[in-house]
Structure 1
Amino acid sequence: MLTGPVADNLVESVASACRSGLDAEELRAAILPRLRKAVPIDALWWASADPATLLFTRSYREELPEDSGPYFVENEFLVQDVNKWTDLAGDPAGVRTLMQATDGQPTRSDRYRDIFAPLGLHDELRAVLRVRDSCWGYICLHREGPQVFSPGEARIVQRLAPHLAEGLRLGLLRQACDLEDATDGPGLVILAADGAVAGMNDAASQWLEELGGHADGSDLPIEIKALAVRLRHLPAAEPVMPRLRVHTRSGRWAVLHAFWVTSQAEKTITVIIQEAAPAEIAPLIMAAYGLTDRERTISALVCQGMSTRQIAGRLHLTADTVQDHLKSVFDRTGVHSRGQLVAAILQRDYLPHLIAGDPLSPSGAFDSPGRLAGAASGRSGRVGRPGG
């Protein structure tokens, strides 16, 4: 098992690969050899996930039967078993072995008895690929008996998990920008080492104008320059790439993301500009209303459909205290009910898409029909063919 500076160097090399905007296949090819150096394995399963539903979408497996997919879907969603993805996604650690989940008695797991034991597999190490509280994928590592995964190996995977999540997220953004006929989709701007624009897609021109710059990139908006500076000064081991929420001249909200891309020719900065999801906008709208931190938290829980009693239990407050906070929120926002509060925060950007049945974009937000269709098709809430 790798420890100390050697482990740190491994994490940094994985972080660098995850910042490169690789697609899922390229990311796996870059990461798995490094992962195996730190955590020897005999089989694995890796999948992207829809952050809005936690359902796995595109999956990849090694040394697991191709026809095991339906079994794993049934095991995850229809029967009782240990170490399930939905449970692990809600766990702060986000990493757990089968031995941990069964107190060293793996035969307590149907999955172990039905699939793993006949294959000669013993322990499994599951990790949720999560960053900024959003789950972008899962990875499950398998080892033949009698070896089990050590706590140190679990810690290494836990360190790598947020980098892998960011890698999956950036790959989806790049994929969306590369789609044909996506002139109204995410904008992609490539900056050379001197800060000059080295390339951009068609959609970028419109976004640059909305941000107050020139459509040809000759005069970049200050937000893009600031984001590039932030990226240049980011610590090497930082898993989260810098981003910025901006209110554009047309009145819509945008989110800007920046990350490094290294090619044989040079190292460049890629900035992606996309329309903000409601979850991105809501905190800013609540801040504009002048809500306190506690009032913002309660408002967010109201938007999730929680009752006064549920909110009180979550925040360890009395129901009367929650009601007092809600009254203050209503006064500040000029609404008179929970329904009106949710509408004031989310209705304009969420409900029309929900009613229309629009697909989810790579950011987890709703998108209009036909736009980014290729990227959304694998993330429409359907269960993929998982394994492990």
Structure 2
Amino acid sequence: MKETQYWRRKSEQCLKHSKNSFEYRQLMIEALRKQINFAAYCCTLTDAHTLFSVGAVTEHSIEAIHHKIMELEYATEDINKYEFLVCSGQYLGRLSDSTSQSLRYREVLAPHGFSDEIRAALTYQGQCYGFLTLFKKAENEQPLFQDKDLALIKILMPVMGEALKEFHHYIIEERIPAIEGEQGIIIFDKELRILSSNTKASELLFILRKHESLSDIQVPKPIQAICAKLLADKYKSSSSLIVPIKDTGYITIHTSLMLTSQLEQQIALFINEASPKEMLNFLITAYNLTPREKEVVFEIIKGIPTKEIAYNLHISTYTVQDHLKMIFQKVNVSNRNELVWKIFSRFQLD
């Protein structure tokens, strides 16, 4: 078994040869395949707050059943659900360790010839930035994952988590080409078949598919995840997500549940370039600003002078100046105007 330092060096090598997180994850999986025998995989980059997928590298055999896996993930109780692994602090789970049979195994994996599964939350500093899932085939000489496989994955988790954090928080300077005044709209049925869409939505859907190297009939993972969650949650009729795409820009996805006159479920999906307000909240997290620094930033965007910020926040002007120095350092700007431009103004439509 390779030790932590080996995988740190391997991760650094993969980063150097990767233009984006997809290439990085693919290279790491290829390196992992030399150490662990598995038949298929899915490696997802996630939003650390919602745990929604913002793009996945997926084996072809899993691509065909991914939507069903996502549906069960949100709609039913099961073993080693991603959210449970993160919230419980367990982070790693092997399907064959459970004494009760998994619904996911019975309804999806077993019918497609899979015999075991490892799920790992790729965490760094307490935040989850991705999920790695490996699958075994029943026809394999060893149809179940071994303890040594779990031990290796446990070493790999924080290494990949740190790398994926940098990809997710990479600040993209480009903006998604937008059709001014038009909202991108897609109507799906509950099986995620497109019923109708407008031109802008089709253009942005093409960008998401290209981002994941999907065909023109496949549904991108962020849409699969957010729609599955929406359909599963009968008490929440909408949800939203930002998808960062390196060298392209930021796409926002909003969903809302609808019912036809025959009481059939449909999903209205609104897909657009991220708004200034959406990007402000996203970048505050990406730049790792503290709650107090966030309050100072909101005051600055309103054009509030230092003395008034101090009064509003019940702190001294010297403390405000200290916060500003740290904010400027984190965002890599030298004054207020540059700060407002970098995290807010530049996302406004011309």
TM (normalized to structure 1)? 0.44
TM (normalized to structure 2)? 0.49
If asked which structure has higher relative contact order (CA below 8 Å, sep 6+), I would say 1
